[in-house]
Amino acid sequence: MLIIGELLNGMYKEVGEAIVKKDKSVIQKIAKAQVDAGADALDLNCGPVSKDPITDMQWLIDNVQSVTDKTIVIDSSKSKVICEAIKKAKNKVIINSTTADKEKLEILVPLAKEYNSGLIALSIDKKGIPQNKEQRLELAANIIAFCMENDFPVTELYLDPVVMPVDVAQAQLKGIIEAVREFKLLCDPSPKTIVGLSNISQGALDRSLVNRTFLVMAQEAGLDAAILDPLDEKLMDALITAELILNQQIYCKAYLEAYRKSKK
């Protein structure tokens, strides 16, 4: 599974302050820690503190790229930020994210195509967050259709069912896992699937336990990528063990250790 580190986000105090003060050492330390823990890619989000998100995102990209060649995930709800920041990227990029709204797709799908980048697409539109699996599938199908019409390869599309917190929408969670499974069946070759994991445990007491339990279920359903905290060792243990059970890693007695060594 593609592991995308979530920690370089301005909503975290340390990162937000580093962005404001332009303290690259904090950013680079967190980037390296995530890569060392197994991240294949790093999500970059300026967060609410940024007054000039284009400049700040470019600064983040520059400083992260100077310490790692892992994939950069440019995370912004503003298409303009993504369009400008992507020019700075030397490494492989994933755009995070478009919605199913045509205005966004019309900007971000051609951009992803131009830069040979991946594209995360939330199964959400202006009407708001879908309330059930069927709505998620309908929005995902619209996104896939748009990509096909515009010759964007669906194998570079990461469909996100939009994970809801367990304390807000408990009844939807099983449908979200089923959406992951059914997204994979919408076309052949299949699109990729992704979740922003930590949202599920907003407000929960043992966040890691809730996160890793949901993650393992989503992995069995065919999840291809997750934005998560790679420094959470218990979460990573569960992820690696799920890959083992799903026959995506070769078994050996010290498989956790072997996996971690293989990432270095």
Contact residues for a second copy (CB under 8 A)? 166-167, 170-171, 173-174, 177, 200, 203-206, 209-210, 213-214, 216-217, 219-221, 237-238, 241-242, 244-247, 251, 253-254, 256
Phi-psi domain of 222 (left: phi exceeds 0; alpha: psi -120 through 50; beta: other): left
Considering the complex, state which of residue 142 and residue 241 has its C-beta at the smaller distance from a second copy.
241
Considering the complex, state which of residue 142 and residue 190 has its C-beta at the smaller distance from a second copy.
190
- Give alpha helix (H) positions in 221-254: 233-245
Considering the complex, state which of residue 253 and residue 261 has its C-beta at the smaller distance from a second copy.
253
Of the candidates 65, 71, 61, 10, which has an alpha carbon nearest to the alpha carbon of residue 39?
71
Could you tell me the smallest distance in angstroms from the CB atom of residue 249 to a second copy? Answer: 9
Could you tell me the smallest distance in angstroms from the CB atom of residue 124 to a second copy? Answer: 21
Of the candidates 32, 91, 36, which has an alpha carbon nearest to the alpha carbon of residue 61?
91
Distance (Å, whole) CA 62 – CA 68: 10
Could you tell me the smallest distance in angstroms from the CB atom of residue 195 to a second copy? Answer: 13
Considering the complex, state which of residue 185 and residue 246 has its C-beta at the smaller distance from a second copy.
246
Distance (Å, whole) CA 104 – CA 218: 27
Could you tell me the smallest distance in angstroms from the CB atom of residue 7 to a second copy? Answer: 23
Could you tell me the smallest distance in angstroms from the CB atom of residue 247 to a second copy? Answer: 5
Using alpha carbons, list the distances in angstroms from residue 51 to 25, 48, 148, 234: 21, 8, 36, 36
Considering the complex, state which of residue 139 and residue 200 has its C-beta at the smaller distance from a second copy.
200
Could you tell me the smallest distance in angstroms from the CB atom of residue 201 to a second copy? Answer: 10
Residue listed under structure tokens 């966040």: 207
Using alpha carbons, list the distances in angstroms from residue 197 to 5, 104, 127: 11, 23, 23
Considering the complex, state which of residue 49 and residue 258 has its C-beta at the smaller distance from a second copy.
258
